[in-house]
Amino acid sequence: MAKGTEPVKPFDPSVFEGPAIRKKREVPDGLWMRCPGCENMLYRKVVAENLEVCPTCDYHFRVPARQRIDQLTDTDSFEELFADIQADDPLGFTWRERQYADYVKEYQAKSGTDEGVLTGVGYIKGRRIGLGVMNGEFIMGSMGSVIGERLTLLIELATEEKLPLIIVCTSGGARMHEGALSLMQMAKTSAALGRFDEAGGLYITILADPTTGGTTASFGMLGDVIIAEPGALVGFAGARVIANTIRTELPEGFQTAEFLLEHGFIDRIVPRKELRSEIARLIDYCER
């Protein structure tokens, strides 16, 4: 061995180890959501605290019926009524080898509610009201015989007890599974509202996204005061159906709440955060 040299040591990989690599933290599912309005990523908790409204662009997300009731009514004041009325299948309706009863059970499990509307009495800022809230998560809030019957009983109760009546509409139209029985609910609810009006009752409708079909053509547009949430789709037939029927291009923003307000079909647009105060103010004003 040459003078001044040392023997080469065996390679030791531990000498060359770099800094410890951190494990990537797993982000729980559902913490973030994308806003369809501004397309920003939003922290879901912030959106929930803002009553399911985008804090950036004020886009109003769709809200399930029970959550809507919690947003509108005083804490623990809502008492559900007429929940014993359940769907039947008088037509024996079958679609894609599945019976109507199977669809009802499926959506009951999905939505956590038993039908497309919840009805009852409650308080909004200390004012007792009759309240019906449609549930868009249950077969798209489609109007069937149960919805018609529950709402009619609610209207009759409000008539007897002289309560202001509030109905929040969210509907994809009539429920095809029940055929003409579904369409009959338009006349039944409208007749009950006629009697309610003759008795001097105050009826306020809130049109949420979407409100379409038979709901729009009956109790949805019969309110003494018709309120819509910002950006809500409100109409009877779909825009494509109308465009193809009349063979013309529809105006920009056609069937939005803003378009309807401009053309006199609704009375006002109220942001969700202001609904409680606006309803209480209307009740006080109309009952003076």
Measured CA to CA, the distance from residue 222 to residue 132 in angstroms comes to 14
The rounded percent of the chain whose pLDDT value lies above 70 is 90
Domain ranges, residue 52: 28-61
Task: Pick from 18-22, 62-66, 242-246 the range whose average pLDDT is largest.
Answer: 62-66
Q: Contact, 102 vs 108, CB < 8 A? A: no
Query: Is the Cβ–Cβ distance between 72 and 275 less than 8 Å?
Result: yes
Same domain, 244 and 275: yes
Residues 122 and 220 in one domain: yes
State the sign of the Cα–Cα–Cα–Cα dihedral 169, 173, 179, 185: positive
Are residues 35 and 153 both part of a single domain?
A: no
- What CA–CA distances, in Å, run from 228 to 9, 105, 209, 261? 81, 31, 9, 9
At which of 16, 42, 61 does a domain end? 61
Q: Is residue 12 part of a domain?
A: no
Q: Are residues 218 and 117 in the same domain?
A: yes
Q: Which of 42, 61, 80 is the last residue of a domain?
A: 61
DSSP symbol at 52: S
Residue 238 belongs to a domain: yes
In a shared domain, residues 244 and 122: yes
Report the CATH number that the domain containing residue 84 is assigned in CATH. Answer: 3.90.226.10
Q: What average pLDDT does this structure show over 163-167?
A: 98
Q: What stretches of the chain show up as alpha helix (H) in DSSP? A: 44-49, 65-72, 100-111, 145-161, 180-198, 213-216, 239-246, 257-262, 275-286
Higher pLDDT, 244 or 197: 197
The predicted structure's pLDDT at residue 206: 98
Pick 268 or 23 by higher pLDDT. 268
The confidence band for 238, taking pLDDT boundaries of 50, 70 and 90, is confident
Write phi, then psi, for 43 (nearest 5 degrees).
Answer: -75, 120
**Do 33 and 135 share a domain, yes or no?**
no
> In what helix (H) or strand (E) does residue 204 lie, and over which residues does it extend?
strand 203-211
Q: Do residues 154 and 224 share a domain? A: yes
Residues 118 and 245 in one domain: yes
Q: Decide if pLDDT at 63 tops 70.
A: yes
pLDDT digits (tens, 9 = 90+) for 105-163: 999 999 999 999 999 999 999 999 999 999 999 999 999 999 999 999 999 999 999 99
pTM: predicted TM-score of the whole model, two decimal places: 0.88
Calpha distance 77→150 (Å, rounded) = 19
Residue 174 CA, distance from chain mean position: 16
Is a pLDDT exceeding 80 seen at residue 24? no
Do 33 and 165 lie in one domain? The reply is: no
The two structure tokens encoding residue 11: 């390679």
Domain count, the chain: 2
Q: Are 93 and 152 in contact (CB under 8 A)?
A: no
- Per-residue confidence band for 196, with pLDDT thresholds at 50, 70 and 90: very high
| pLDDT-wise least confident of 128-132, 142-146, 172-176, 261-265 | 172-176
Looking at the structure, do residues 134 and 57 belong to the same domain, yes or no? Answer: no
CB burial readout 215-235, b (16+ within 10 A) else e: bbbbbbbbbbbbbbbbbbbbb
Average pLDDT, rounded, for the chain: 91
The residue whose two tokens read 């959506």 is 107
pLDDT at 2 over 90: no
